[in-house]
Structure 1
Amino acid sequence: MLTEQSLAAMSAVEMVAGFADRTLSPIDVHDAVQSVIEARESVLNAFWVRDPDESRKAAQASEARWAAGEPLGPIDGVPVTLKENVARRGVPMSSGNAGAEPVVPEADAPITARVLESGGVVLGSTVMPDWGMLSSGVSSRHGITRSPWNSGWTTGGSSSGAGAAAAGGYGPLHVGTDIGGSIRLPGTWLGLATLKPSYGRIPLDAPYQGRCAGPLTRTVADAALLMRVLSQPDPRDWSSLPPQDIDWSALDVEVRGLRVGVQVDAGCGEPADAETVAAVRRAAELFEAAGVVVEPVEPFMTRDLLHDLDLFWRVRSWNDFRALTPEARQRVLPYIVQWCQEGADVPGTKVLQCYQQIMRIQEQTVAATLPYDLVLSPTAPVAAFPADQPMPFMGNGKTMHHIGFTAPYNMSGQPAATVNCGFTTDGRPIGVQISGRRFDDLGVLRAAAWYERNRPAGAVPHWPDSVPGAQVGERTT
């Protein structure tokens, strides 16, 4: 008989199969997940809004539909979490910031609508750091979100709560957003399977340069299942791609004959450490042994490109910050205040130059990767850092020195996935980033699924049953 923990840890694909043949109950799955949440949430701190009574009602409705043979969609009855910046009608959105007054949306975002239309059981809204501009789980409103692998380690961000929920066993499906790495960074630091899809693949209600939403899951098949739901069209997103009939379940393909680039130097930011580079190279060797043509990819980002992208974001956040009252400004995370103040009084000519640099990032990323079906790289240059640290590198001018591998694909609109490919000597996960040509989301997921099936045993995550490690607030790395 399945224990509550093993029931909660099942994949979404397994859950749906069990619901269909009546060997699993959506209510039992929901209750098992809630038991895990109750046991771990005081440490992990993944949720902003959660209503177990309402989500149980949704599970009961799903069970009735399955009994009648009338499921709403491919994830009917499966527990799902949504990042707090994904609008849910009537649910406050704080953007992780104690200084900003939470916005209460009057309508569901396209993502929320698609999940509900498919019968997904929404457990709640997961947390994020201030304005989503930190790659950690540190928030002036929510406090610190912590890794299920070790409470002293970061989750990454800005999809910090989604990542903690996925790795912590809060059900199988979790939605995050990503403008420079905010899905993939929790992916690498928590051992997850993730996808930042092509720009416009998942309709948003607030599209912005480089912003995407996507899945954070434990398996590639679950990420693909969630993409089947989230990629459905919605006319509210004027930047979304035309509807496309993609068979997201068609993952079981071979990689022989593909041309794959391997990039271990981002050309900007801090260099990748030796353990990270070695893990990515081992992944590349596995592809090569399967008949893939593997070639090195030279850096295509520069320090100046990264600096101007960072400055563009600082100006944007400074505009948000200066709109706050003096009293509200005092509640914003000091690190964010210091960071965005560098965007004050930047001349319009310089802002335009920064925007033109983003266009250059787009051009150079596409040009450098176009010869390849896929490019393998580190997701981040280092493994998980202390949970109470806002960013991996805290020195002056190093704020974004960890996104040299991830941010280019946001700007170019290319899909990029992560899969765990190893661990450091002290047990921290390492994820390989697998990027592809524009619009080839399925090709990227197929490669990720192939690697997931064939990776060595030492690269397979064995999810923690509890939250081990440091006491809250203690640094362990």
Structure 2
Amino acid sequence: MGDTERTITSLSLAEAARRVKSGEVSPVELVDASLARIDAVNPRLSAYISVFADEARKVAQAAEIMASAGHDLGPLHGVPIALKDNVAVRGTRTTAGSKVLADWVPARDATVTARLRQAGAILVGKTNLHEFAWGGTSDNPHYGTVRNPWNVERFPAGSSGGSGAAVAARTCFGAIGTDTGGSIRLPSAINGLAGIRPTYGRVSNHGIIPLAWSMDTAGPMTRTVEDCALMFGAIAGHDPKDPTTARHPVAD
């Protein structure tokens, strides 16, 4: 990875978004740097199950045209984001870390996925996890054991270990995890990240394969608290497709 790519991937999510808006950096540059980083480190980390290289580049080109024309697509305009592979992405397999679902391709986005797109995010891939989110190590017999990017002899915790490793290794600027009993909090702590397990009902579970329907919730994993707040604001809020979501407005 060259110095320019290293500098770009070291930006916080919030700073990357600000630079896209100001024209200092383009969505294409952000995506190219993230994909180069994935190519460089994922063979050792097994952080990703699927990578959307071609699609991400197409979306980045469109986002760059919009940015150049002065159109703001949202708070995450042009920023590469990853999702845990139990969150549905239309037209792309969603495995929940299991061979049982290896060929399942959802026809619709999860609400979290749709809201990230609406906020301008560019999805670069689906991250590895403990099978069906049932475990705290992210050892996955089907898609590879996830490694901690700070020391590949160590584990990244789980079950959102792929999301934690992906963000800590600077392959994306933020990632979605899910948490029932620590699956966002533990890998965030062990990988040196900020992570939020939202109150149940604050973020829609529609389109997510949960560990526990009555407890699981999706949330952001990022390198800074500001980044977490930015992602949380994009995904939180009432969803008619999930009757358990709260109707209270989301504060800034």
TM-score normalised to structure 2 length: 0.94
Deviations 1:328-348 (A, max 9, x none): xxxxxxxxxxxxxxxxxxxxx
The separation in 1 between residues aligned to 2:175 and 2:145, in whole angstroms, is 19
Kept after mapping to 1: 8 A contact 2:237/2:245? no
Q: Report how far residue 101 of structure 1 moved.
A: 5.0
Instruction: Tell me which structure has the larger Cα radius of gyration.
Output: 1
Aligned residue in 1 for 2:244: 239
Deviation at 1:165, TM superposition (A): 0.3
Going from structure 1 to structure 2, the CA distance change for 1:98 and 1:140 (only over 3 Å counts) comes to: farther
Report the RMSD for the aligned CA atoms in angstroms. 1.5
Q: Which residue of 1 aligns with 2:44?
A: 43
CA-CA distance at 1:29 after TM superposition: 1.3
Whether the 8 Å CA contact 2:13–2:173 is kept in 1: the answer is yes
Deviations 1:176-201 (A, max 9, x none): 00011100110111111000011111
Q: What's the offset of the Cα at 1:5? A: 1.0
Given the alignment of the two structures, is residue 213 of structure 1 paired with residue 213 of structure 2, yes or no? no
Seen in structure 2, the aligned counterparts of structure 1 residues 27 and 196 have a Cα distance that, compared at 3 Å, is: same
Partners of 1:78 and 1:243 in 2: how far apart? 28
TM-score of the superposition, structure 1-length normalised?
Answer: 0.50
Question: Structure 1 232/66 Cα, relative in aligned 2: closer, same or farther at 3 Å?
Answer: farther
Task: Specify the alignment match of 2:93 in structure 1.
Answer: 92
* In structure 2, distance between residues paired with 1:102 and 1:32: 29
- Tell me, in whole angstroms, the C-alpha distance in 2 between the residues paired with 1:232 and 1:61: 27
Contact 1:9–1:171, Cα closer than 8 Å, also in 2: no
- Counterpart position of 1:228: 233
Q: CA offsets per residue over residues 378-405 of structure 1, 9 Å max, x none? A: xxxxxxxxxxxxxxxxxxxxxxxxxxxx
Q: How does 1:181-330 map to 2 (within 5 A)?
A: 181-205=182-206, 206=208, 208-247=213-252
Give how far 1:233 is off: 3.0
Distance 1:245 1:51, change over 3 A: closer
Q: Displacement of 1:37 after TM fit?
A: 1.1
> What corresponds to 2:61 in structure 1?
60
After superposition, give the CA deviation of every residue in 1:75-132 in whole Å (9 maximum; x if it has no partner). Answer: 0100000111100112122221234554321110000100111110100111111111
Aligned length: 247
Distance 2:33 2:102 in 1: 34
Give me the whole-angstrom Cα distance separating, in 2, the residues matched to 1:89 and 1:78. 19
Question: What SS does the corresponding residue of 2:196 show, helix, strand or coil?
Answer: strand
Q: Which runs of 5+ in 1 are unaligned?
A: 248-477
- 1:2 Cα deviation (Å)? 5.9
Native 8 Å contact 1:5 1:33 kept in 2: no
Q: Which moved more, 1:88-97 or 1:73-82?
A: 88-97
Secondary structure of the residue aligned to 2:20 is helix
Aligned-partner SS, 1:214: strand
Structure 2 unaligned regions, length at least 5: none
Cα distance between partner residues in 2 of 1:131 and 1:91 = 17
Contact 2:233/2:250, CA 8 A, preserved across alignment: no
Identity %: 37
In the alignment, the residues of structure 1 paired with residue 159 and residue 89 of structure 2 have an alpha-carbon distance, to the nearest angstrom, of 19
> What's the secondary structure of 1:53's corresponding residue?
helix
For residues 103 and 243 of structure 1, the distance between their equivalents in structure 2, rounded to whole angstroms, comes to: 34
Matches within 5 A, 1:21-32: 21-32=22-33
**Structure 2 residue aligned with 1:117:** 118
CA deviations on 1:207-248 (whole Å, 9 max, x unpaired) are 71111100111100000000110014321111001141401x
Kindly provide the CA deviation profile for residues 253-310 of structure 1, in whole angstroms up to 9, marking residues without a partner as x: xxxxxxxxxxxxxxxxxxxxxxxxxxxxxxxxxxxxxxxxxxxxxxxxxxxxxxxxxx
Check the 8 A contact 1:98/1:140 in 2, yes or no. Answer: no
Report the AA paired with residue 211 of structure 1: D
Q: How many Å separate the matches in 2 of 1:95 and 1:53?
A: 23
CA distance in 2, matches of 1:49, 1:243: 35
Q: 2 CA distance for matches of 1:57 and 1:39?
A: 21
| 2:85–2:127 CA contact under 8 A, matched in 1 | yes
CA–CA separation in structure 2 for the residues paired with 1:114 and 1:25: 21
Cα displacement (A) at 1:152: 0.7
Q: Please state whether the residue corresponding to 1:197 is helix, strand or coil.
A: coil
Q: Trace 1:435-474 onto structure 2 (pairs within 5 A).
A: none
Query: What amino acid is aligned across from residue 217 of structure 1 in structure 2?
Result: T
Amino acid at match of 1:58: V
Structure 1 residue matching 2:227: 3-state secondary structure: helix
CA distance in 2, matches of 1:169, 1:176: 16
Counterpart of 1:68, as a letter, is A
